[in-house]
Amino acid sequence: MTDQDFEAEVARRVEAFSAQVGPGGVPFFHLPGAPEGLCRCLSCGDLLADPYPPRCRACIEAAHKVLNNLPGRCPR
């Protein structure tokens, strides 16, 4: 996967994950219809080489981007 392809996948996930944030808090982010199973990303269902971390690199990056852009986020 090229860097451009990776960034496109992250952007797709950011859009989907951002839509899941509501006034009641932050849910566990997932892509609708993602397959479930052993050694699959818990958010998108992509196959993982190892079961840890339980999310693929694109979903980790997207989740961080969404969380870092929430209003009222406490700075580190």
Q: Would you state the pLDDT for residue 25?
A: 80
Domain parsing of the chain, residue ranges: 34-71
Helices 3-18 and 57-68 pack at an angle, to 10 degrees, of: 50
Gyration radius of the chain over CA positions? 13
Farthest CA pair distance, the chain? 37
Whole-number average pLDDT of the chain: 92
Look at residue 72 and tell me whether its pLDDT is greater than 90.
Answer: no
Q: What is the mean pLDDT of residues 39-54?
A: 94
Comparing C-alpha atoms, which of 63, 71, 70, 54 is closest to residue 17?
63
